[in-house]
Amino acid sequence: MISSKTVKPALQQAYVKLMMDVIGRGLVMASQVDQEIKQEVAKFPANFILSMKVFPNGPAFIARVTEDHQLELLPELDGKPDLVITFKHLTHAFLVFSFQESTAQAFAHDRMIADGDLSYAIRLVRCLNKMEALILPKLLAELAVKQYPSELSLKEKLSGAAHIYLKVAQSYFQRSA
């Protein structure tokens, strides 16, 4: 693994920005593809706004729960989201996004703050964990999530990952068209 101490801050910034975008898009697309994530998102109220960011003004994504309980990315937001997960420092985000530390470990080491209802933060982390288990190779996913889902079959993993990656790729093409 690459140590965060050996990666220059400008590269950390670029990497975390890219990963934040991919994770935001991946979460939105996973909420359309995976039944478990759909069920979790359905428990958020309509028009609920969630965000993940790096303090103070680092990379971020903002998503909203639509009336039909789908997630959609927002380009910007006037006002305060209902839930904000904040990495206290760019290096902390880099540790998580480079799979050197799981989200649960980052919370335990006080590297992240959840501002909002804790039950919604836990729900969001469950969605992120399932998405990571689906889209990452098992070896990386086991580093990224607290507990790799034992019931996740190879067929479900490959099918889910293919659908999510396809939708993420399409979202990049739609944005540039």
pLDDT at 2: 57
Chain CA centroid to CA 97, Å:
9
Q: Which two structure tokens, joined as six digits, stand for 94?
A: 């880099």
> pLDDT of the chain along its 177 residues, tens only?
555 566 788 899 999 999 999 999 999 999 998 999 999 999 999 999 999 999 998 999 999 999 999 999 999 888 899 999 999 999 999 999 988 888 888 888 999 999 999 999 999 988 988 888 888 888 888 777 777 888 888 888 788 888 888 888 888 787 655
Contact 31, 158 (CB under 8 A): no
C-alpha count within 13 angstroms, C-beta hemisphere, residue 113: 8
pLDDT at 66: 95
C-alpha 85/C-alpha 124 separation (Å) is 9
Ordered structural domains, the chain, with CATH: 9-165 (3.30.1050.10)
- CA-based angle 52:171:177, to the nearest 5? 125
pLDDT at 176: 56
C-alpha 67/C-alpha 71 separation (Å) is 10
